[in-house]
Structure 1
Amino acid sequence: MIERIRKHIINNKTDLKYIIILLIILLVISIPKLLSQYHTGIGNWDTCLYLENARVFSRMGWGDVPSIAPVLPMILSKLFLIAKHPYAEAIFNVDVVFYIVGSIGFYLLLRQRFNHLNSFIASIIYATFTLLYSWVAIGGNDIIGTTGTILTIYLVIVAHKYDNRLYYLAMPIAAYAFLSRYTAGVMIFAIIYYFLINRIDTKELKHIIIGGVLGVISISWFLNQFYKTLGTPVPFLSQFSGTVNNTAVMDSGFLPNPYYYIEHLPNYLSSTIPTGKTFNAVVNPMGNIPTLLSYIYLVLIIAGLILIIFRIYTAIKGGKAGLRSNRSTAYMIVAIISFILSLVTVNNMSYIVTVILFIIFMLALYFVLEDLDIECLDYDFLMIVLFVSYLVFQSILFTKNDRYFITVLPFLAFFICYAIKYIYELLDELTTSKLKYCVSIALVVLLVFNSLTFVANIPDENEFDDIEDACRWLADNEDELNNQTIVYSDNWPAVSWYMNIFCQRGVPNTNNSTSILAFSEEVLTHNKTHQATSYYIDTHTTLKADYPGLTKIQSFNNTVIYKNSYLLDGHNMTDLEEIEYTYYLDKTLDDYNKSYT
């Protein structure tokens, strides 16, 4: 065993050298980003949600509802148990680890197609894309899910090419990637496509099935927990159904524009934060200023795609005789029809239909071209299918957020790598081979400098600081406050985390007096199925309304604390359960309604 490992290292020593250099560069750019996040603290809604769920897993808090994306909270809970207390920095650290693993995994994935230098440069480019780098250490699950996707695709390729037993590792990683971020499940279309074009035999299928069983077994604990707490082992099916049907939702990320990500693509590739912006410009770079490098990337992406098409065209031109068979003609007809139908269904039907039609197109096209002996055609087509699948999925969904596009970035970097490959080959033909290494060094220095400059310009202003201050003030100044206190907020994950209570969701619509009245009635009513709130913490609305039955008691910039007015009249929280409170609330709401009618 030791001898096999030694031989493997010797045979791959060049790769190891590049991986070590890549690791050093990743540490150089990720450690300052991590330290910056330590200084900034929590800066995103979902970060609080994962931290709070981790506290529930570790039995150190009261928590929110159980998460149906439990991998990150489970990892965090283990760190909490080791430290013997929950701490926000844990999620920042985990995020950096998966960022580094994903970037190295991407290098290994590219090495199945490109040489060492091309793969190395493309991995650095991927790691320094503004959208990806801005989310390093923030504490989301998008980087974890994308890393899982990269590792799964890499292992599927090497399992097919070298050792089918690697499916025993690939499928469990795929299962965890799916539970980390359900969008990772989109890769299943591309994996099935890869199996079909490579015509896997019965022996390989057996290893795939065993790997799939191991994947289910590896996540069985989570499925059992889902059943215990939510009544079903597969709660994510409802979420999946929503994505399949593209159900409209009431959400701050409701953006039905299918071109949203394309319109902001330059901001995601390379951009700078405008002066005067808050930390939200890091979380959502769509409002940043694209750099010249961003447009160079766009040119390289387009060039990479054109080069793939040109390579196929050249092969077809040189082997026309092999394309005149009835079989090739039939496949070509299927390809043309399925491609046209895939375009017609975009944004008109479920993304599932569009993706399946596109895969049929790519299958038929592959079967037309396979006899032309085009090198690495299966790899190139796999990357294209992954790119289109994720792009269509993210673009068609009504709910959009900048970070969701992280899943598409590896496949954009693939096209850039394709263009770089031809540029370096051209440099070798026109000049000495040393020039491409000089260009590579200059590019790496530029990208590292660009990333460190981005960190240096991260704004200090963070709205979550105000929420934390408000929660601390409430805990210090309200004597009756305990883990049974009913608190509502429009940012309930943050309040739950900072106060270690089960804060409930309360999102008002302050467009008119009727909606204000309805919100007060919603949060203040006490009956057999609903408890009246004692406090409401408003963190988002620009108009801090005067809600009937609620009184402003403290504010921290844009965060305002309201208290149930009944408690300010000398009553305590248990009095909210009495009939006198019901009479009081009815009169208060009625008086407010009369004043606006």
Structure 2
Amino acid sequence: MDKLSKSQNIFKKHSSYILPVVLILIVSLITYYRVMIQIDLGPISDSCDFLSDALLFAGQNIGYSDLIRPPFFPFLLSIIFKMGYVSTNAIFILDGLMYIFGVIGLFLLFKLHFNSVQSFLGSLLFATFSIVLTVMSVGFSDLASVSITIWTFYFLILGVEKNSKFFYLAFPFAMLAFLTRYNSALTIFPMFLYIFINIHKINIRNMLVGMSVSVLVIVPVFIFFFEKFGNFLYPFMNFFGTASGPSLPESAAYNSNLFFFIDKFPLFIGHEGILSVIIILTGVFIYGVLRFKRSSKDKINSFSGFKLEKRGTKLKLILFISLISIFILSFGQIFWMWSEILFFAVGYMLYDLLKNFNIKDADIHLLFFAWFMAFFIFQSIYIIKDNRYFVIMAPPVAYFLILGLQEVSNGLKFKIKNKNVTFPLIAVILTAAILLSTASYLPTIKQANEKNKITNENIESASQWLINYDPDYKNKTIYSDMWPNFSWYLQTNVKMVPVFMNGQSYSGGVKEFNLTLKDNIAYNNELDSNKADYYLCLRKGLNLTHYTSVAQFGNVIIYKRK
């Protein structure tokens, strides 16, 4: 027993060093297997766009790029290319490294409120959420942006609580997150809410210096965009115009359901997340029953900080209720920016009402809540939706799950030798569940994407065939439905053929494609008017008047002008 106690004391003393190392080892192993899975599956169109942009940044322009996309992720990728490793695998590896970078940052961020065990469990929960594992190493910029955002908030809190010179890092990191994924601009709402409620602690000069440094970060990007487009704001205008503009219901990603992310919440957090919720709800129920049996005196005292007899408090409460009512009733009915501003006001009023309760780290709780809501509001109202958009909301979800587990363990104390071991027991159970769930989930990613793997292999085979068939192909006009992929494999500019359906063209695909005679004519006109020499096609049933099929690889057909 003495040996056990000695081991416990050693662990407690060195847990702040042991647990981060264990966490890094676990997520590194997860990353390795996830990267290997993606290498086997191959790149998707978004990945190929980033790969082509990275080649341009590395000085190896192939003629195709998509510079409307945020530049920082392909810029990082271009560094790998400059080192001589030009491969699709590079983007999978970079994505995985950014994932590890984010998990480390989240552990440090959680440590600002939680202890080492709680921070370890919270970071591991985030790292193994189903949606995070699915998106990781695919070659999207989502996870990279989330990782940089995590470090942004870490430096922000340090800038307020420890040393205001951390603002020199917080604001530039926020800018890098924005340049990795443009919707990360929404971090300004939780950032400035946290700043406003702590304004009395802040060195304004150092904060302004941090903001100035962030401007210096974006200046080279402005110069580059001006050289390419003649307007340094063009890519940003394109994004924000898309975010506020209409979309056709037939578009593949169109979804007007305001509760999309709520409906799919269990799917996003996976079995371990659901288990955490069950433990919290069970704990709250048991704790509630126990509290109910106690004297009502405790209940009265628990609200002693909320003095309604004060006229100012009553007015604040009325204003708070009015704001939150307007927010709820107008949600989805007004422009998303107004909803963001309304919630900003709600958050500020909420903190003002609760500050008399002396809740430890209430400002940090509100920061995480505002972080979640800033993106939940935008992504819910924005009619283009995708499961991966939840990734930016995943860190706050992990935070509140651990906060809930912490409160349950504090309320339901299971003691051994007068020590509350409730949370350590929960941590052991959840860690085991997480590891088992992750081990069983990773293979399903490969199985679910088997068709994409076959398509990617067909695209690569078709590309190699065309290279051998027509050595002068780079001087020909080539069009394709999968232009980013073919541009990468052929190392030339392959142009887009949109989806034609019912008199409309869709660059992002449609939900259901049923070819009609009118659509067939549209495809013919598109190719004829652009004088395409080759059409690398993934559409079934086309009857192209001036083109003949010269080769087929699975679902990929190569058409050549007659």
Q: Separation in 2 of the partners of 1:37 and 1:163?
A: 41
* Match status 1:562 vs 2:559: yes
Residue 516 to residue 234, structure 1, CA distance change in 2 (3 Å): same
3-state SS, counterpart of residue 322 of structure 1 = coil
Provide the residue aligned with 1:349 in structure 2: 334
Residue 549 to residue 454, structure 1, CA distance change in 2 (3 Å): same
Match among 463, 478, 489 for residue 471 of structure 1 = 463
Provide the residue aligned with 1:241 in structure 2: 240
Q: Is the 8 A contact 2:547 2:559 kept in 1?
A: yes
Q: Separation in 1 of the partners of 2:245 and 2:280?
A: 29
TM-score normalised to structure 2 length: 0.86
3-state SS, counterpart of residue 267 of structure 2 = helix
Report the Cα offset of residue 416 of structure 1: 0.8
Pairing of 1:496-515 with structure 2 (within 5 A): 496-509=487-500, 511-515=515-519
Q: Separation in 1 of the partners of 2:412 and 2:37?
A: 39
Deviations 1:406-438 (Å, cap 9, x if unpaired)? 111111111211121123334544555456435
Q: Is the 8 A contact 1:300 1:415 kept in 2?
A: no
Provide the residue aligned with 1:35 in structure 2: 36
Report the Cα offset of residue 554 of structure 1: 2.0
* Match status 1:450 vs 2:437: yes
Letter in 2 for 1:343: I
Provide the residue aligned with 1:411 in structure 2: 396
Deviations 1:336-392 (Å, cap 9, x if unpaired)? 111111112211111111121112112112112212222211111111111111111
Letter in 2 for 1:225: F
Report the Cα offset of residue 238 of structure 1: 1.5
* Match status 1:495 vs 2:494: no
Q: Is the 8 A contact 2:283 2:412 kept in 1?
A: no
* Match status 1:550 vs 2:547: yes
Report the Cα offset of residue 175 of structure 1: 0.6
Q: Is the 8 A contact 1:553 1:562 kept in 2?
A: yes
Provide the residue aligned with 2:184 in structure 1: 184
* Match status 1:402 vs 2:387: yes
Residue 377 to residue 316, structure 1, CA distance change in 2 (3 Å): farther
Residue 320 to residue 418, structure 1, CA distance change in 2 (3 Å): closer
Q: Separation in 1 of the partners of 2:396 and 2:543?
A: 50
Residue 139 to residue 65, structure 1, CA distance change in 2 (3 Å): closer
Q: Separation in 2 of the partners of 1:561 and 1:524?
A: 16
TM-score normalised to structure 1 length: 0.81
Q: Which runs of 5+ in 1 are unaligned?
A: 1-11, 271-290, 526-530, 566-597
Q: Separation in 1 of the partners of 2:283 and 2:429?
A: 21
Q: Separation in 1 of the partners of 2:257 and 2:284?
A: 25
Q: Is the 8 A contact 1:55 1:63 kept in 2?
A: no
3-state SS, counterpart of residue 523 of structure 1 = helix
Q: Separation in 2 of the partners of 1:429 and 1:304?
A: 12
The aligned length equals 520
Match among 268, 274, 278 for residue 295 of structure 1 = 274
Residue 316 to residue 210, structure 1, CA distance change in 2 (3 Å): farther
Provide the residue aligned with 1:81 in structure 2: 82
3-state SS, counterpart of residue 550 of structure 2 = strand
Letter in 2 for 1:169: L
Deviations 1:125-151 (Å, cap 9, x if unpaired)? 110001101222211100011111111
Deviations 1:451-489 (Å, cap 9, x if unpaired)? 22223342244122221111111212224412x321111
Report the Cα offset of residue 240 of structure 1: 4.7
Report the Cα offset of residue 305 of structure 1: 11
* Match status 1:485 vs 2:470: no
Q: Is the 8 A contact 2:306 2:356 kept in 1?
A: no
Provide the residue aligned with 1:57 in structure 2: 57
Letter in 2 for 1:37: Q
Q: Which runs of 5+ in 2 are unaligned?
A: 1-12, 292-297, 502-514
Q: Is the 8 A contact 1:109 1:153 kept in 2?
A: yes
Deviations 1:251-306 (Å, cap 9, x if unpaired)? 42122222222222222222xxxxxxxxxxxxxxxxxxxx5x45334446878999
3-state SS, counterpart of residue 334 of structure 2 = coil
Q: Separation in 1 of the partners of 2:281 and 2:109?
A: 21
Pairing of 1:187-226 with structure 2 (within 5 A): 187-200=187-200, 204-226=203-225
3-state SS, counterpart of residue 307 of structure 2 = helix
Provide the residue aligned with 1:160 in structure 2: 160
3-state SS, counterpart of residue 375 of structure 2 = helix
Residue 246 to residue 508, structure 1, CA distance change in 2 (3 Å): closer
Letter in 1 for 2:340: V
Residue 314 to residue 14, structure 1, CA distance change in 2 (3 Å): farther
Provide the residue aligned with 1:437 in structure 2: 424
Provide the residue aligned with 1:330 in structure 2: 315
3-state SS, counterpart of residue 253 of structure 1 = coil
Q: Separation in 2 of the partners of 1:488 and 1:302?
A: 55
3-state SS, counterpart of residue 258 of structure 1 = coil
Provide the residue aligned with 1:22 in structure 2: 23
Letter in 1 for 2:396: F
Q: Is the 8 A contact 1:164 1:207 kept in 2?
A: yes
Percent identity, please.
23
Q: Is the 8 A contact 2:415 2:422 kept in 1?
A: no
Q: Separation in 1 of the partners of 2:545 and 2:334?
A: 45
Q: Separation in 2 of the partners of 1:434 and 1:243?
A: 51
